[in-house]
Amino acid sequence: MANRPAPGLLLRDGDRARLLRLTRSSTVRAGLAQRARIVLLASGGVSNTAIASQVGMSRPTVITWRDRYARQGIDGLRDRDRPGRPRVVDHRAIVAATLKAPPKKYGVTHWSTRLLARHLRVGDATIARAWREYGVQPWRLETFKFSTDPHLVAKVTDVVGLYLNPPQNAVVLCVDEKSQIQALDRTAPMLPMQPGLPARRTHDYKRHGTSTLFAALEVATGQVTGACKNRHRHQEFLAFLKQVAKAYPGQDLHLVMDNYAAHKHPKVNQWLEQNPRIAVHFTPTSASWMNMVEIWFGIIERQAIHRGTFTSVPDLNAKIRAFITGWNDRKHPFVWTKTADQILKTTNRQKTSNAAH
């Protein structure tokens, strides 16, 4: 028995003109224009089979779109978001969304690729590509501290001046101590690196005490004068200053130091007064990063201490001295690039931003 022709589709008020515009527009997607044509033909009483033949679709597809129009009107003819087909979002829009705090309903402090992908209804890889392109890393967190030193401007100008325009016939040295270096011995030998595998070490270790490394970095050359001591009181610091003075006999010395109490002890000050060829320049409070020996401390930590195994404090001290000897054989200076004005401008910007919160 032949299928009976479907009854003519009843159009909603004003839809005929809108449907005609969709079929004639050069900017409308072809699929939407084709569906509009199906509805117009159906409204004229054309059978589903005849419509399918005219528009080049299957009869079930024609029935689907005429039913969709009957239920939802013209809006029902538009494409729906499909679960397996993420929509396209501009990378700038992704970064803009990343810089905003996640909604409270998620209960998280920052975005992950999967959560933001779900939130924006795009693929995980799309989020990852956008983050790589713009250098956005929501999982990272750094700390900062504002200097409240009342002499901030003078101290920044003084220290930076030594770095960028050092005095003639004088030596500039950055002096500090790296305290509480642990002599840790692993309970099993380290497994060496292999192709496809990093070096591995056991989590278990034995503590053999601690040591303090005093160091003076010569700004012009990168030469390091160092000493390992059991404690880091003013007595040990003063002994190290005497060692530095002996290493540079007869030369005027400018020492950059932070504001640690041992550096300002009365006995240290008394010795400095007795040695007028040595001048001290203090960094601002909470700004020990301005002391370039901190850069060198980071290097020795990464290259000799962090992955080292030490059977005793003397073993630790010997390996530190060996590193210093090797460093001085291949030494190089660190280049300071920021002017005092640039640093102070950044500091003022941070203070202004902090005041807004």
Domain ranges of the chain: 15-77, 91-134, 152-189+203-352
pLDDT in tens, 257-308: 999 999 999 999 999 999 999 999 999 988 888 899 999 999 999 999 998 8
Task: Quote the pLDDT of residue 194.
Answer: 85
CATH for 152-189+203-352 is 3.30.420.10
Which positions ≥6 away from 259 have C-beta within 8 Å?
282, 283, 285
Task: Quote the pLDDT of residue 188.
Answer: 81
Closest by CA to 34, choosing from 10, 14, 54, is: 54
pLDDT in tens, 227-246: 999 999 999 999 999 999 99
Tell me the pairing of strands 224-229 and 205-218.
antiparallel
Provide the mean pLDDT of the chain.
Answer: 88
**Strand locations in the chain (E):** 170-186, 205-218, 224-229, 252-257, 278-282
DSSP secondary structure of 202-235: -S-EEEEEEEEEEEEEETTT--EEEEEES--SHH
Task: Quote the pLDDT of residue 356.
Answer: 47
Task: Quote the pLDDT of residue 86.
Answer: 53
d(CA 307, CA 320): 13
Strand partners, 29: none
Question: What's the mean pLDDT in 325-338?
Answer: 94
Distances in whole angstroms, Cα of residue 46 to Cα of each of 43, 77, 255? 7, 19, 96
Q: What's the gap between Cα 315 and its chain centre? A: 36
Measure the CA angle with vertex 60, ends 75 and 48; round to 5°. Answer: 85
pLDDT in tens, 63-90: 999 999 998 898 889 876 555 555 667 8
Tell me the pairing of strands 252-257 and 205-218.
unpaired
Q: Report whether pLDDT(163) > 60.
A: yes
User: Among residues of the chain, what percentage have pLDDT more than 90?
Assistant: 59
Task: Quote the pLDDT of residue 347.
Answer: 67
